[in-house]
Amino acid sequence: MEKKTMLLHGMTCAACAQRIEKTLRKLPGIAQVNVNLASEKLFVDYDEEALTPAEIRDAVAKIGYEAVEPPIVQTVTIPIGGMTCAACSTRVEKALHKLEGVTAASVNLATEKAQVTYDPQSIRLSGVREAITKLGYQPLTVQKHGEADAARVRKQQEIRNLWMKFIFAAVFSFPLLYIAMAPMIGFVRLPFPASLEPMRYPLLFSLVQLMLVLPVMGIGYQFYTIGFRALWQRSPNMDSLIAVGTSAAFLYSLYNVFQIAAGHFAAVDALYFETAGVIITLILLGKTLEAVSKGRTGDAIKKLMGLAPKTATILQNGAEIEIPIEEVEIGDTVLVRPGGKIPVDGLVLEGHTAIDESMLTGESMPVDKHAGDTVYAASINTTGTVRFRAQKVGEDTALAQIIRLVEDAQGSKAPIAKLADVVSGFFVPVVVAIALLAGIAWFIGTGGDVTFSLTIFISVLVIACPCALGLATPTAIMVGTGKGAEHGILVKGGEALETAHKIDTIVLDKTGTITKGKPTVTDVIPVEGYDANTLLAMAASAEIGSEHPLGQAIVAQARERGLALEQAIAFTAITGRGIQATLQAQTILAGNRKLMDENGLSFATLQEVTNALAEEGKTPMFIAVDGKPAGIIAVADVVKPSSQEAIQRLQNMGLQVVMITGDNERTAAAIARKVGITHVLAEVLPQDKASEVKKLQAQGRKVAMVGDGINDAPALAQADIGIAIGSGTDVAIESADIVLMRSDLLDVPTAIQLSKRTIRNIKQNLFWAFGYNVIGIPIAAGVLHLFGGPLLNPMFAAAAMSLSSVSVLTNALRLKRFKPTMKSTKTSEEG
Amino acid sequence: MLKNQKVIVSMLIGVLVATALIVTVMINTGGQLDTVAVNATESFAQMVNTVPSLLTRDGNGHWNITAPDGSARFILGAEGNYVALAWDAKPFIAAGLAVEKLPDAYTLNGEELVYTMGVAGDGSKEQAGTAALAMQTLTKTMPGAIGYHIPMDHFGVMVGEAGMFEWAQSLETLTDTGEPQEKDIVFVLSPDALIEAGVEPALVEGWVYAPVEVMDGGATLFVEKFLKPFNIA
């Protein structure tokens, strides 16, 4: 099964998206199709043996749209040596423009750089360089820009074109509107040329309007080409409504121009050129604002794409070389100085620094990195110089994976969108039918008043806005998932986002989720004759060679305290018991009570302490020196600092919080008490975690499972929402619906909060989109007028229609202001 | 490049469509942009031909269209550069008019109040031609004086501040609706100067004092006028 993403051109409303989906679903070999109106992308899963991308493109083209593979154009910056004057740069620029496959070229003499956009399938970069060389200049090392740049440039170009079109249309529409309306305004005298007075020079008056409306209709030709084609193919879209509405206004006005020419001067009162012109202008304005807002919904992903540096400094034969990031290979030694960005993922070889990973994890505090630690592309080296070996480059870096994840999520649909999808499917034909019926009804009702019924017909067509319906859900999902990514919360799709807001039970894995997942020394209790540090130093020296987590925790604690450790002369690990080690002067026995019992050592004097430690969920390590008890070192997996607050926030959100662990009940209860959990599932074997989740679901609960280990993967998959915590394994992340980049449980309530906000935003959008049409269409059809109320002018209908899409987009963009509520108050969580 | 060509072709098609439309319209009007003038002249000729008794030529060679009851006259200079309105002063004097308070453009000629606009040509007595020809000339020499009144389907000649003379485009039916035309000619007097000179509108007999839709500087206004309509056909 092949997955493909294509860019779609020519879509204007939800009906278009629906139509493409419907058409593609009929193709053999199609498994899944999803069209995102907001991002104008097609996501398709298909059997590559049954279908080719060309067939998909053809099917889309047949219904009047264009599906194109993501741009393969590349933009490179080529520093050029040898240019001395403006003539040189002009010459290079001209030569580059002439190259086949080069779509844009601009040479800056001041920076001595050429920026070239080219199609690699038509011309290779070497060809571009060769052309520069042929002119007698020297092309230097190339700087490539990514797809993000190309997409950004394309979007900016589209917005610029729309602005230009709008300005062009407005330049003609404003005088058109003035000429048409000024004579009708009775309460104020507006300057008006006598030579255009409709009662004196009606023909000139109408011809001037005709001349003014034609350029406006010309600049908006796409409404007609797309709209009528869609109508012809029996799947009308928003463009069809605009095309039919404005064409009706234009043709009726044109007919009246001929009437005027024939001496029927009363026809001067029935000119609607300004309606057609202003409608197109306002729709163009709406489209422009929509494009700007749409562009902003994808800001998060653009921000992520822009995070990676363009170049990297690598060490080659001891020399530092700066190369484009695309040229970094696995195994290269990369050097990053303070203030520099990490270019690729890698393993620190040398140096000690603090790295700001906030752009990837949302964690504001820089993370200490030493030799052996992993660094991630796009994070910022803050304090020291580090050298690291490149381990993951290009599409394999964590950043690239995050971008892919977010892109996939943004392209997905939430179940809540289904209603809008269904309505969009038959929206336009229904609107056309309503417009016709209303027009005919008013024609009959007014005793054959063509002008009045035409006004109604046009108003209904123009006010109907399927765009708002189509944009309501995807825009909110795009902003919501993007915002999540900014906070280190990767939501894998619209469905996950929607389900997350419905959950009522949250199951937290203990180890690595509530706790740090690494045992830590909590208590050092020496017997008389030893002090704590001496006991710890001896135990740590004995455990240096141990691979057991408890032993490593003791060594780590001793090192943290700066204690001097000695190398053991002899070391024996006793499976299931502990260790025995010989130091310079002592023999150390460290392990559980069984080990001590087997060696005839009694810790009776410490029995009470031992019991208390067990009660607190701590594991006592008994230490004996030279055959005599020396003390107890307690080790426990400590609770993360934020876990208690996170759990309180979850409880305040009305969620039942359940802890699940393989630990014994006493240890589990101790941890649960600490963090305020009352519902504990203890002694659950890894393979049984999923069935425990299932049991909760069987009680009718919507369950979210939060975990980090491989053993959590089945439970994550079983839960309605699986949340993998960032420090977790790839398998857990793969099985999860939401991935938390940080290892902080506070991100769980934040993720749920984000989900609630996003779904609320979607509901608001849908409410406005539906409400707007449900209210607007009857008003346009003259229902208010029927009861003595006002009649909607088609131009106001067009303005309202344009604003409806923009208002939905603006509402979705409000999500960009989302900030996690940090207070553990009930009201704040729900707000 | 292809895109640019597409834009140029689209623009050319647009220009061609616009030109074709304008040319078609112009062919329809015989190349005349001032269709009101053309139609006004035609309908004026039709009117005077239909009811020739209304039309007389005075001693100065001016064409006179006199109301069937003789209470008002529209005077058209034979050279098309002179128009005047003359009407019976008695109802206005009876309603309080102090003639001496009227602006200079108004004169009392016997029992008639007269308002003239333009300059009567020398030797107009000898002017040959018809009233229609004079009207045609008027549409060129005083184009601003000609107008069309949509609600009544009337053409009209504005006679300065005094008022205007209107006649129906068709004496039989309204062009747009096909309803019977019952106001074939209308003498219209602007009331401002008369009221300032003491006229109490409600006391004026033989004239209707009513609001009329007019164009003023591009704005459509309703203003009170003295009206005297006649159904002559």
Mean pLDDT, all residues of chain A: 83
What percent of chain A has a predicted confidence (pLDDT) above 70?
Answer: 91
Give a yes or no: residue A345 inside a domain: yes
The predicted-structure confidence for B19-31, as pLDDT tens digits, reads as follows 887 777 777 766 6
The predicted complex's ipTM stands at 0.80
When pLDDT is cut at 50, 70 and 90, the band that residue A625 belongs to is very high
pLDDT above 50: residue A697: yes
CA distance B138 to B121: 13
Using an 8 Å CB-CB cutoff, list chain B residues near A254. 21
Q: Are residues A528 and A677 in the same domain?
A: no
Q: Nearest CA of chain B to the CA of A137: how many Å?
A: 27
pLDDT of residue A824: 44
CA distance A91 to A107: 9
Q: Is B222 on the interface with A (CB under 8 A)?
A: yes
Does some domain include residue B199?
yes
Minimal CA separation from B16 to chain A, in Å:
11
Query: Residues A274, A354: one domain?
Result: no
Name the B residues in 35-64 with CB < 8 Å from any A CB: 35-36, 39
Residue A699 included in any domain: yes
**Cβ–Cβ gap B22/A211 under 8 Å:** yes
Q: Do A265 and B21 touch (CB under 8 A)?
A: no
From chain A, pick out residues whose CB is under 8 angstroms from the CB of B149.
199
Claim to verify: residue A239 and residue A162 sit in the same structural domain: yes
Q: How far is A33 from chain B (nearest CA, A)?
A: 31
Q: Buried b / exposed e across A283-301, counting CB within 10 Å, b at 16+? A: bbbbbbbbbebbbbbbbbb
Sign of dihedral through CA atoms B49, B53, B59, B60?
Answer: negative
Res. A264: pLDDT tops 80? yes
**Angstrom distance (rounded) from CA A811 to CA B127:** 78
- In the listed set A610, A639, A668, which residue is the last one of a domain according to the structure? A639
Q: How far is A501 from chain B (nearest CA, A)?
A: 48
Dmax of chain B from CA atoms?
82
- Per the structure, the count of domains in chain A is 6
Same domain as A495, residue A540:
no
Same domain? For A337 and A347 the reply is yes
Question: Does a structural domain hold residue A377?
Answer: yes
Domain assignment present for residue A476? The answer is no
Q: Chain A residues with CB inside 8 Å of B166's CB?
A: none
Residues A61, A80: one domain?
Answer: no
Q: Give the C-alpha distances (Å, rounded to integers) separating A466 from A60, A423, A645, A730.
A: 20, 9, 44, 41
Confidence of residue A384 (pLDDT cuts 50, 70, 90): confident
- B-chain residues near A203 (CB < 8 A): 25, 29, 33-36
A293-315 confidence digits (pLDDT tens): 777 776 766 777 777 788 888 88
Q: In this predicted structure, what is the pLDDT of residue A615?
A: 79
Q: Is residue A780 part of a domain?
A: no
Sign of the torsion formed by the C-alpha atoms of B198, B200, B204 and B208: positive
Backbone angles phi, psi at A530, to 5 degrees: -125, 150
Residue A87 pLDDT level (bands cut at 50, 70, 90): low
Q: What is the secondary structure of A184-206 as a DSSP string?
A: G--SS-----GGG-TTTSHHHHH
CATH value at residue A347: 2.70.150.10
Q: Out of B24, B33, B175, name the one closest to residue A203 (CB).
A: B33
A27 and A164 inside one domain: no
A161 and A295, same structural domain? Answer: yes
Q: What is the pLDDT of residues A459-472, one digit of tens each?
A: 888 888 777 777 78
Q: Do A181 and A219 fall within a single domain?
A: yes
The residue out of A612, A639, A666 marking a domain boundary is: A639
Count of the separate structural domains present in chain B: 1
Q: Which helix (H) or strand (E) holds A518?
A: strand A515-526
B217·A210 Cβ contact <8 A? no
Encode pLDDT of A8-25 as tens digits.
887 877 778 888 888 888
Both structure tokens of A481? 């998932």
If DSSP codes are grouped into helix, strand and coil, which group holds residue B56? strand
As a whole number of Å, the CA-based R_g of chain B is 22
- For A92-125, write each residue's pLDDT tens digit: 888 888 888 888 787 765 556 677 888 776 787 7
* Phi and psi based region of residue A328 (left: phi greater than 0; alpha: psi -120 to 50; beta: remaining): beta
Q: What percent of chain A has pLDDT over 90?
A: 18
A45 lies in the same domain as A110: no
- Confidence check: pLDDT of A825 > 50: no
Question: B-chain residues within 8 Å CB-CB of A192?
Answer: 217-219
Interface subset of B 121-180, CB within 8 angstroms of A: 144, 146-150, 153, 169, 175-176
Residue A453 lies in a domain: no
Least confident of A605-609, A722-726, A772-776, A819-823: A819-823
* Confidence check: pLDDT of A572 > 90: no
A685-A686-A690-A696 Cα dihedral, nearest 10 degrees? 40
Tell me, yes or no, whether A279 and A175 share the same domain. Answer: yes
pLDDT of residue B1: 44
The CATH number for A129's domain is 3.30.70.100
Q: Does residue B19 fall inside a structural domain?
A: no
Q: How confident is the model at residue A828 (pLDDT cuts 50, 70, 90)?
A: very low
Nearest Cα to A737, choosing from A748, A728, A724? A724
Domain-located, residue A205: yes
Q: Is B56 inside a domain boundary?
A: yes
Q: B191 lies in which domain range?
A: 37-230
**pLDDT of A179-193, one tens digit each?**
988 877 666 677 888
Give the count of alpha carbons within 13 A of A613, CB side only.
21
Domain end point (choices A357, A392, A427): A392
Provide the pLDDT confidence category of residue A399 given band limits of 50, 70 and 90: confident
SS (H, E, C) B172-189: CECCCCCCECCCCEEEEE
DSSP run (H or E) holding A404:
helix A398-411
Domain span at residue A101? Answer: 74-149
Whether A407 is in a domain gets the answer no
Three-state DSSP class for residue A279: helix
Same domain, A189 and A293: yes
Catalytic residue set of A: 509
